[in-house]
Structure 1
Amino acid sequence: MSNDASLPEDEQGLTSLASQLVQHLSEQKFAEIVAHFDATMTASLPVEHLARVWEGLIGQVGSLKRVGAARVTVRGAYRAVLLTCAFEQASLDVKVAFDQAGQVAGLYFTPTEPPTLAWEAPAYADLSTLTEREVVVNAGQWPLPGTLTLPGGPGPFPAMVLIHGSGPQDRDATVGPNRPFKDLALGLATKGVAVLRFEKRTRAYGDRLDVQQFRMDQESIEDALAAVALLSREGAVDPAQIFVGGHSLGGTFAPRIGSEAPHLAGIAILAGATRPIVEMMREQIAYLASAEGKAPDQVNAQLDGLKSAGERIRALQGGAAPGPGEVILGAGAAYWRDVGAYDALATVKTLKMRIYVAQGQRDYQVTEVDYRAWEEALAGRKDVTLKLYPELNHLLMQGAGKSTPSEYQRPGHVDERLVDDLAGWMKGASGTPP
């Protein structure tokens, strides 16, 4: 990539070097990259560990196809170059942070910010009756901006906290032109339910989080509990009718949140997984290979990288010592051990609260296999509602045929039936309280 003449001369040099380092990653020239690291980065991400990080990344998103636009941000004494890179299955921003001496002080991979697209509220949302207010969740070391959506009228209302899936998500759970959490907030509030949604900690503070100490608590649990506490102090909310609704990874974590907040009225598991992450990633790669007609050698390379990552994760969960600064599939040993020790199905069985499980049958990321596992774990309970929606994908939106990532780039809205069912369940029309 050539230098951008519109940038200051020193920034042109940084963008050129960052582009060169990304090219070295693609060519697996890891020693040449580490040669540009500062002392801290050299110690925490030596050649062999950088190789594992890259191997895990391309196992998820495929090989690098193109390095695109660059932009420079400044924070204190550091300058960061963000390069938008096209991989086989995703667009990622590769962020290379430089110190004052021009050495690399940080290297990050994050989903590319979606373009600003026109978004319209779903037809089932009556905006004339609603109010929205900005709030701060977990005011302290990690304050997170959020939005509280309230129905019209005096209340007090039942309320739901929405918990994100994996990755650095915003409060709307934005994917392309779609904002499923905003759909849920507006739709549920139209039906008399208050909704709190907020920025995920990994989005707001991703460059400040210690990947070696990062666990489930830091990803979701602490902030979910803080959001529940905030709602319990909200005068327009009925403190006895507060629910947590988790989507995808948030659905997997929902039983853990429920176990730490037994005063909740209930949890909603929306496309929540029950199986190990690596197992599901392998399944997704095979599915997409079939749906998109990928060449076998590309698929095998991805599966081989994922197999290696999975074996290392299992070794760490079995007690193997992590290497200095070791990161696998974006997370350190502490996270993988924490996730490995958590049994969502065993935990959900212990909860003494109402439970709602919703699953789209066209979802290729979390599938009917997971839905049936929840169903089996919760069999015989009268305080549980389970619903399988044949036409819905992972974003809880309608479609036809095989779902693929390209479907997420088409504008849509969370299905109105799900919104109706969820609101009715919260207000007691479905299921029987324990």
Structure 2
Amino acid sequence: MRELAVEVPGAPPLAGTLTLPDSPGPVPAVVLTSGSGPLDRDSNHRRARFDVARQLAAALAAGGLASLRYDKRGVGASPGDWRAAGFTDNVDDLGRALDALAARPEVDPARLLLAGHSEGALLSAALAARGAPVRGVVLLSTSATPGDELLRWQARELGPTLPAPVRLLLRLLRTDLEAKVATQHARVRATTTDVARLGGVRVNARWTREFLDHDPRTDLAGVRVPVLALTGSKDVQAPPRDLEVVAATVRSPVQTHLVPDLTHTLRRQPGQASLRGYRAELRRPVDPEVLDTVVTWCRRACHADAPAENPL
């Protein structure tokens, strides 16, 4: 495996890494895109090293596939401001990364794939629905629920997992987390700028407005290439049941995988699912089953006809 620093042209340019296998080219390749917020090309945040894209890149290279991953606007070595970028801007950036990958001499432009985690899965589905020239799409920890409904669902799921003192305080204050989330949505919808200050904090207002109104089912219905969708049974950020929606909505061959005990970090967690377990999970590598499933599917998508359906 070898890695090259690359730049995705455009405004703003995006800094990235091209990972190549130890095999003669041109080779099939995958664009990797990460979740929401200020994540770098490796899917890392300064407070949480998810490391999903970097580990996927290494696994793909071992399987003979190249990959391109990139820093978001205003993150890592990319200029700009991630807070000012909307959801549609992020789709456009993914499209630019795909074009940049297709132009590389080491890569076979007829054998390209998209693979995204969390928001990256939504971006990948959106770009594929635009008719991007790819052989398939990998959706990891994806949602098929409209954004405003998804965030309310997250509040319902996360409430019972909060520490007991926090739950007690919320009861004493008569605070309903789901109602509080809905109130925040209304405040964001009332903004008109890309970045707004709410509660003394600068937030990515345009992205949030676009995300709240985004219905992934529209994009899924427009995808015309094979899809792999994988979610963990203990994901409290993307509903595991949405795998059924993906399978029912995409009109091309679909493989769905519900991985036992897997969380949104793509690691396994014993006991009750909660965000509190993330710190310990992130000290471990991405689950081997996830990596093996993705690499095997990508190889088949690039070297054979469309994968057969594998219903949930």
Bin the TM-score by the shorter chain: 0.7 to 0.9
What amino acid maps onto 2:204 in structure 1? A
Aligned to 1:217: 88
Going from structure 1 to structure 2, the CA distance change for 1:395 and 1:146 (only over 3 Å counts) comes to same
1:147 aligns with 2:17: yes
What amino acid maps onto 1:147 in structure 2? T
Shift of 1:195: 1.4
1:188 aligns with 2:60: yes
Shift of 1:428: 1.5
- Distance in 2 between the 1:338 and 1:326 partners? 14
1:201 aligns with 2:201: no
The higher relative CO (CA closer than 8 Å, separation ≥ 6) is in 2
Aligned residues: 294
1:363 aligns with 2:238: no
What amino acid maps onto 2:140 in structure 1? L
- Distance in 2 between the 1:282 and 1:325 partners? 22
- Distance in 2 between the 1:343 and 1:180 partners? 25
Asked if 1 retains the 8 angstrom alpha-carbon contact of 2:85 and 2:194, the reply is no
- Distance in 2 between the 1:396 and 1:298 partners? 30
What amino acid maps onto 1:132 in structure 2? E
Going from structure 1 to structure 2, the CA distance change for 1:208 and 1:301 (only over 3 Å counts) comes to farther
What percent identity do the matched residue pairs reach?
26
Q: Which secondary structure does the structure 1 equivalent of 2:125 belong to? A: helix
Aligned to 2:294: 422
In the TM superposition, 1:227-266 aligns within 5 A as 227-266=97-136
In the TM superposition, 1:308-323 aligns within 5 A as 308-312=183-187, 316=189, 322=192
Deviates more, 1:223-232 or 1:280-289: 280-289
- Distance in 2 between the 1:165 and 1:331 partners? 14
Shift of 1:326: 5.0
- Distance in 1 between the 2:258 and 2:82 partners? 38
Spell out, residue by residue over 1:303-334, the C-alpha distance to the aligned partner (whole angstroms, 9 max, x if none). Answer: 44322123345xx4xxx7848975569233x4
Asked if 2 retains the 8 angstrom alpha-carbon contact of 1:164 and 1:249, the reply is yes
Q: Using structure 1 for the length normalisation, give the TM-score.
A: 0.61
- Distance in 2 between the 1:324 and 1:385 partners? 37
Shift of 1:275: 2.1
Shift of 1:202: 4.3
Aligned to 2:310: none
Spell out, residue by residue over 1:134-187, the C-alpha distance to the aligned partner (whole angstroms, 9 max, x if none). Answer: 1112x2431222111111011222111111111010111125354121111111
Asked if 1 retains the 8 angstrom alpha-carbon contact of 2:146 and 2:215, the reply is no
1:305 aligns with 2:175: no
Aligned to 1:105: none
In the TM superposition, 1:38-57 aligns within 5 A as none
Q: Report the aligned-residue RMSD.
A: 3.0
Q: Which secondary structure does the structure 2 equivalent of 1:368 belong to? A: coil
1:270 aligns with 2:143: no
1:159 aligns with 2:39: no
Q: Which ranges in structure 2 are unaligned for 5 or more consecutive residues?
A: 308-312
Which one of 247, 266, 272 corresponds to residue 375 of structure 1? 247
Larger radius of gyration: 1
